[in-house]
Structure 1
Amino acid sequence: MNLALPIWRSPIRNLVTLFAACILAILHQYLFYGHIPGISVPIFVLFFYGFMLMFAGDRLIPYTKFNALLSLVIVMLSFSYVLFDQFFFHLLNFFVLPILIAIHLTMWMGYQTRDWFQKGIIYDTLLHVLPRNFRHFPTAFSCVISSVSEKMADGTKKTVLKIVIGLAISAPLLVLVITLLSSADGLFEAFLGSIPNWLNQITYSEGFFRLTWVFIFTLLFFGYVTGFVKPESQKEQIMKSFSKEVDPDDTEQGSISSVNVPLQSQNERNSKNEEIETRTMLIDPVIAATVLVLINIVYIIFIVLQFSYLFGAWEGALPEGITYADYARKGFAELMLVALLNFTILMTVLLHTAESSPIVRRINHFMTYLLVLSSLIILYSAYSRLHMYEEAYGFTHIRFLVHVFMLFLAVLMIIAGLWIHNKRIPLAKCYIILGLIAYVTVNYAGMDSYIAAKNIERYHLTGALDEHFLTSLSVDAVPILIEFSDEYPQMNDHLKGLYQELAGQERAWPSFNMAEYRAQQAISEHISAQFSVK
């Protein structure tokens, strides 16, 4: 992919890039300073990608299917700020979205050419975000100074230099003179004392904060894009040029010349480095088998004891002395920790165990299968306890997220079990893609709507309702609450208050949120329908 933009070959490339970075920083502060993120997020993401393609497009590498998937994930997460009113995910995506964008750009135009499933991609991303970014901060000032100095005559340059020297010499003299005059004259001292008040008025004004915002983000945007264009420092370039030189004496003595040796691709070098790392961290198979056998014995005993009431708990077959509420609460967190520990053990054994004899290998395979099965049963036990707890005490955000996490962990376990049987399954690729899809899915699942519906369903079965919690849900739950208000008239007071709150908000257009707009329209129609009936 080649955009063939003339700016890439222009001698003032850095200066134009700095100007564009300043424009982007101005847009950034306009969209986000003092505004709740809304439609501003996808708008800025679009302009940021345009900025990166405009000034670092010559670094593009062929687009892969995973890059396309990551692009779709980024677009969907950015539009979640428009389509939904979920504070938790908006706050979480505040960190997740920039990370995914940084990884995506590193894979698309980064200095290294690693595969997306390699661990080194995180390291390369951090290099572009931190050292290669900050390294070019002085470049922003130097390109401005050089562009100004080029237009100056030699005499003007000397004059400016003399003025700078004069300012440097006069600074300590001014401090001494001002100190003496302040001691000699009280009126002059009072005048100097009022200067900090002026500075405070300037410093703490909105304009000062906006200018500071623009200045900082101009440097960040300029340093980031320039870090892709010039990823190597001058020292690294010198060392690289030295390493490429061939010693003629070595060639004459019969040493292998670099010309005759086929060059390895970066991917091959990275894969070999990972192989070396894996070899240095291998676990003895007998040790792994011993650990698996002991752990599985404990799990088998636990599961045998659980089976007496695990599947009969719904019919009241609980252990003696344990109430319904105790069973629903007790041990849930411990079971989740055990499941996570099992997953860690499973991944460690599968990925870092050395080759062994066929007998030991079969034992380890059988034990890992047993560990997967035990983990799934433990997850089911935790799931059943959580489900009972929700029926007794209602549905909340944390319980919804825990449900999702348990299902996700169970799928990871199943994939690991399939990988034991068939090593051709790309485990890392499956986990990364599944993680991205699962995260976007839970963002778009309508968490508050689901929680409202489940709590209302529980109300129909038990007659118990936490009205305070139900009315504290985001506006995503408004359609469910409007429907529920027909049988629960007390909900109309909340809907009227929410409508007044939404109507009274004076939000700028960058904070536009489709969920709030739809909720306001739906409540307005509901209130109008009530008045027409009366």
Structure 2
Amino acid sequence: MDTVIKKNEWLFMLSCLGLGILAEISFFHARIGVSYLVFLTGFYLVVFVRYKLGFNHRRIGLLIMGCIWLLAASYVLYDNVLFYLLNIVVIPFLVLFHVVLITSPGNLKWGTPAFVVRMAAKIGQGVTYSSQFSGRVFKLVSRNMDESTSQTMKRVLIGLLIGLPLLGIITGLLMSADAVFQEMVLRLPQFIFDFNLEGIFRTVAVLVFTALFFGILQVLRIKTRTPIQEKNDAENGTISCNGVTAVTILILLNAVYALFTAIQFTYFFSDGLQGGYTYAEYARRGFFELIIVTLINWTILICCLKLVREQGAKMKLVLKLMYSLLVTVSGVMLVSAYQRLSMYEAAYGFTMERILAHAFMIFLIVIFAYTLFRVWFERLALLHFYLIAGLVFYTGLNVMHIEQIIVDENLERYERTDKIDIHYLNALSSTGVEGLIELYKVNPDYPELEQMLYNRQQMMEDNSLDHWQSFNFTKREVREQLLGLELEKY
């Protein structure tokens, strides 16, 4: 193995070390807030300096980068527990997708399973590169030692890296399993427990981050061979379906859907509920079934578009008509499900699950509309649009501040009906507390409300917001409003 390490490798490794320290400070000292934007600024500065803006796939790259920054900005602008947790996974995935994409050859097809394999391969190559670099550094450090001593030290270090975490886990489990063993361990000299375990954990985190950043960013330009070929599957003998078989299936399905659609139109153009159902019974009766059937239709449509080989112009036209009818009846089912959920919300209030269900149905309508265009204009790409639409849809959910919509709609419903679920608003994040404050200003005598706000007030006195990493505009504003209320002690 070549032990020579170039100057630019040292400099880039030091840059990644700084990036690893920034990652540890941003994510492991307090709740994530503005720190995510700070980290992304440092990360992309290192990436742009490393590759000197020599990037490909710039249009889609700019779109993905814009979504990444908007998602990270949601940590400082809003306070939503669901998206807080989801974005911990989504943002790193998008960042990896982005940096692999913009450093890949311009003719690479990113809308294929092969690109996901390429991403995984880059992670593996990055880990390998960091391991090899560590081996070269060790050889430089131990170049004045004899071979046996050097190998012994290397094996001891590897053993410590693997053994110490295992020792901590196993000791904790044994202490939980046996009280006598726990008491004996707790009698060990106090200096062992005074040892800075937190410092060790943070150091390990910095080293892991540094190794990942350094390895992956160094191998992005290396050509990757994957077992999945990016050529047309049709040339490699993929599964196909006969046009007559597909038409038979579609006719059977569309016949049932046409009957269902005819019945649904009697609901659309009539007032009130049908068959004596209550709002809850009507909304719940078949809502999820309609969504599942719609998803099944979408799956059937995609499979037919990809697998069916038309035989002749007439068969091709018949298939397109069947596809179009399937899209139309699927749209009717989505509208029916949307109507049911809207009636349920009007009767029982708005929640995160119901708003997300509404948004998902709108997303499906957009997907079906584009698929209908694809039926008649065959040159349109399906997967590319689905991926882009999904990314924009998810980013839009983060930007539109769903919890604020829930609070506003429930307060408006309270003005009409005097009904509101304060326990659900209290279960939301800071935005829900802001809604409770607005309700308190309107009706301070609402049952349990003042006690609920007092309990929240005591929780808000926690100094977690004093950490710069956790700065969040919504939390800051709500905290000021809540602490300004004069509430009776409970």
Aligned match for 2:115, one of 121, 127, 133? 121
- From 51, 56, 62, the equivalent of 2:56 is 62
After superposition, where does 1:64-463 map in structure 2 within 5 Å? 64-110=58-104, 113-129=107-123, 131-148=124-141, 156-158=144-146, 161=147, 163-164=149-150, 201=193, 205-230=197-222, 272-276=231-235, 280-312=238-270, 314-316=271-273, 318-319=274-275, 322-463=277-418
CA distance in 1, matches of 2:258, 2:151: 82
The one-character-per-residue Cα deviations of 1:496-528 (angstroms, maximum 9, x if unpaired) are 543443343334111111111122234456x48
- The amino acid of 1:25's aligned partner reads G
CA contact (8 A) 1:397 1:447 kept: yes
**Matched letter for residue 131 of structure 2:** P
Tell whether the 8 Å contact from 2:114 to 2:230 is kept in structure 1 after alignment: no
SS in 2 for 1:506: helix
Shift in CA distance, 517/118, structure 1 to aligned 2, threshold 3 Å: same
Shift of 1:82: 0.5
- Contact 1:15–1:143 (8 Å) recurs in 2: no
Change (3 A) 1:323 1:483: closer
The answer to which structure, 1 or 2, has the higher relative contact order (CA under 8 A, 6+ apart) is 2
2:460 alignment partner, one of 492, 502, 510: 502
Report the CA distance between 1:227 and its aligned residue.
2.3
Matched, 1:42 2:34: no
Whether the 8 Å CA contact 1:114–1:270 is kept in 2: the answer is: no
Distance 1:377 1:14 in 2: 60
Q: In 2 relative to 1, CA 408–163 (structure 1 residues): closer, same or farther, beyond 3 Å?
A: closer
* 2:464–2:470 Cα contact (<8 Å) kept: no
Partners in 2 of 1:380 and 1:522 — Cα distance?
41
User: RMSD of the alignment, in Å?
Assistant: 3.3
Classify 1:51/1:299 alpha carbon distance in 2 versus 1 (closer, same or farther; 3 Å). Answer: same
Measured at CA, do residues 271 and 228 of structure 1 come closer, stay the same or move farther in structure 2, by a change above 3 Å?
Answer: closer
State the distance in 2 between where 1:230 and 1:134 align: 14
Residue 482 to residue 323, structure 1, CA distance change in 2 (3 Å): closer
Question: CA shift at 1:311, angstroms?
Answer: 4.2
Name the TM-score, length of structure 1 as normaliser.
Answer: 0.76
Rounded Cα–Cα distance in structure 1 between residues aligned with 2:56 and 2:408: 46
**What's the offset of the Cα at 1:147?**
3.6
For the structure 1 residues 492 and 323, does the alpha-carbon distance in structure 2 shift closer, same or farther, using more than 3 Å as the test?
A: closer
Identity among equivalent pairs (%): 29
Cα shift at 1:63: 5.2
The alignment status of 1:19 with 2:24, answered yes or no, reads no
Q: AA paired with 2:311? A: S
SS at structure 1 position matched to 2:100: helix
Give the unaligned 5+ runs of structure 2.
157-184
Structure 1 residue 406: deviation in Å? 0.6
Q: 1:199 and 1:134 mapped to 2: Cα distance?
A: 36
Query: Which residue identity does 1:26 align to in structure 2?
Result: I
CA-CA distance at 1:113 after TM superposition: 4.7
Q: Which runs of 5+ in 1 are unaligned?
A: 1-8, 171-192, 237-265
Q: Does 1:29 align with 2:21?
A: no
Is the Cα contact below 8 Å between 2:57 and 2:106 reproduced in 1?
A: no
CA positional deviation for 1:370: 0.8
Q: Give distance in 1, aligned partners of 2:249 and 2:23.
A: 54
Comparing 193-202 with 94-103, greater Cα deviation is found at 193-202
User: What is the deviation of 1:112?
Assistant: 8.1
Distance 2:384 2:152 in 1: 63
Task: Note the C-alpha offset of 1:226.
Answer: 2.3
Where 1:136 maps in the other structure, the secondary structure is helix
Stretch of structure 1 that moved more, 302-311 or 455-464: 302-311
- Rg larger in 1 or in 2? 1
On the 8 A contact 2:56/2:106 being kept in 1, the answer is no
Deviation at 1:361, TM superposition (A): 1.2
* Cα distance in structure 1, aligned partners of 2:153 and 2:371: 69
Q: CA–CA distance in 2 between the matches of 1:20 and 1:410?
A: 46
Change (3 A) 1:61 1:196: farther
Aligned CA distance change for structure 1 residues 165 and 209 (closer, same or farther; 3 Å): closer
Deviation, 1:32, is: 1.5
Aligned residues: 452
